[in-house]
């Protein structure tokens, strides 16, 4: 059976060895050998979020499947493929199943050749989507509370990294919106600092001055909105 592996890591996850590309690659190769699959390729999307399917790697995966060049798809964990239930069901129902593909997710022990595997896949996908939605809701709730308190974020004339102003002059909290990609960068900055990386090293990673990194790490908005809570849970 010809198989293709798919691996992904977001910007904020690159410092996490447990979910690194190398770790995912090793797990998939080991599984393919155990199942006696002919692993022809492992496709990687590095530094990409799983919130949608607008990724070069996942689009290549879809092309391989729909052109019937492979018989099985292997991922380390379901959320590596996508964090969206809608996209997950699309891939399973309209891409994999229609093409007669076996889908294997190692962490969840999913095998879509069985009814139980298909059921568990749907439930797991829904849980991943719920977790993502809850994080977003919690952040918005925290912002609303700061608005109620009529709080500003840092210096009155400066918009915190990871946010954008919806008006040009001195934004209040109610005038700020999240920028998902920059928020991922913020999480990685805090993670690197937790690992005792210097301000200079972090700054070079993101092309920022040490003073800018220091300002970000000391800005209470990230703690107060729960944006970086996951960094300190491990």
Boundary residue ending a domain (108, 128, 148): 128
Q: What is the pLDDT of residue 74?
A: 95
Instruction: Give the pLDDT confidence of 88-98 residue by residue, as tens digits.
Output: 878 887 888 88
Whether the pLDDT of residue 13 is over 50: the answer is yes
Q: What is the pLDDT of residue 146?
A: 56
Q: What is the pLDDT of residue 207?
A: 85
Chain mean pLDDT for the chain:
80
Check: pTM over 0.75? Answer yes or no: no
Q: What is the pLDDT of residue 144?
A: 61
Residue 107 maps to a domain: yes
Are residues 121 and 209 both part of a single domain? Answer: no
Boundary residue ending a domain (109, 128, 147): 128
Coil/strand/helix, residue 32:
helix
Cα distances (Å, whole numbers) of residue 10 to 97, 174, 182: 27, 28, 12
Contacts of 72 (CB under 8 A, 6+ apart): 1, 2, 3, 4, 37, 101, 102, 103, 104
Cα distances (Å, whole numbers) of residue 233 to 124, 142, 191, 194, 198: 22, 19, 11, 12, 21
Among the listed residues 216, 222, 51, the one whose alpha carbon sits nearest the alpha carbon of residue 142: 222
Are residues 118 and 165 both part of a single domain? Answer: no
Q: What is the pLDDT of residue 59?
A: 95
Q: What is the pLDDT of residue 234?
A: 42
Q: How confident is the model at residue 204 (pLDDT cuts 50, 70, 90)?
A: confident
Reading the block at residue 84, the tokens are: 């969206």
104-113 average pLDDT score: 83
Instruction: Give the pLDDT confidence of 56-88 residue by residue, as tens digits.
Output: 999 999 999 999 999 999 999 988 998 887 788
Q: How far apart are CA 154 and CA 43, in angstroms?
A: 42
Q: Provide the domain count of the chain.
A: 2
Are residues 118 and 189 both part of a single domain? Answer: no
Residue 142 maps to a domain: no
Whether the pLDDT of residue 154 is over 50: the answer is no
Whether the pLDDT of residue 139 is over 70: the answer is no
Are residues 219 and 177 both part of a single domain? Answer: yes
Are residues 84 and 17 both part of a single domain? Answer: yes
Are residues 74 and 165 both part of a single domain? Answer: no
Domain that holds residue 194: 157-232
Instruction: Give the pLDDT confidence of 36-52 residue by residue, as tens digits.
Output: 999 999 999 988 888 88
Q: How confident is the model at residue 230 (pLDDT cuts 50, 70, 90)?
A: low
Residue 146 maps to a domain: no
Q: Which residues are catalytic?
A: 10
Q: How far apart are CA 26 and CA 33, in angstroms?
A: 11
Are residues 111 and 164 both part of a single domain? Answer: no
Are residues 171 and 116 both part of a single domain? Answer: no
Are residues 175 and 107 both part of a single domain? Answer: no
């Amino acid at each position: 059976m010809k198989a293709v592996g798919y691996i992904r890591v977001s910007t904020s996850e690159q410092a996490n060895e447990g979910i690194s590309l190398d770790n995912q690659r090793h797990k998939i190769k080991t599984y393919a050998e155990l199942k006696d699959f002919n692993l022809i390729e492992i496709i990687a999307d590095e530094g990409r979020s799983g919130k949608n399917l607008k990724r070069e790697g996942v689009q290549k995966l879809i092309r391989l499947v729909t052109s019937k060049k492979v018989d099985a798809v292997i991922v380390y964990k379901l959320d590596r493929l996508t964090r969206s239930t809608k996209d997950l069901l699309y891939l399973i129902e309209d891409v994999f199943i229609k093409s007669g593909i076996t889908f294997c997710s190692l962490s969840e022990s999913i095998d879509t050749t069985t009814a139980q595997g298909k059921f568990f896949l749907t439930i797991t996908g829904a849980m991943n989507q719920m977790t993502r939605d809850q994080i977003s809701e919690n952040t918005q709730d925290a912002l609303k509370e700061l608005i109620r308190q009529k709080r500003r974020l840092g210096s009155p004339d400066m918009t915190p990294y990871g946010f954008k102003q919806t008006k040009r002059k001195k934004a209040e909290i109610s005038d700020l919106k999240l920028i998902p990609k920059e928020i991922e960068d913020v999480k990685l900055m805090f993670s690197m600092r937790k690992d005792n990386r210097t301000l200079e090293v972090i700054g070079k990673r993101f092309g920022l001055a040490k003073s800018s990194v220091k300002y970000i790490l000391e800005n209470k908005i990230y703690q107060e909105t729960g944006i970086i809570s996951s960094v300190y849970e491990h």
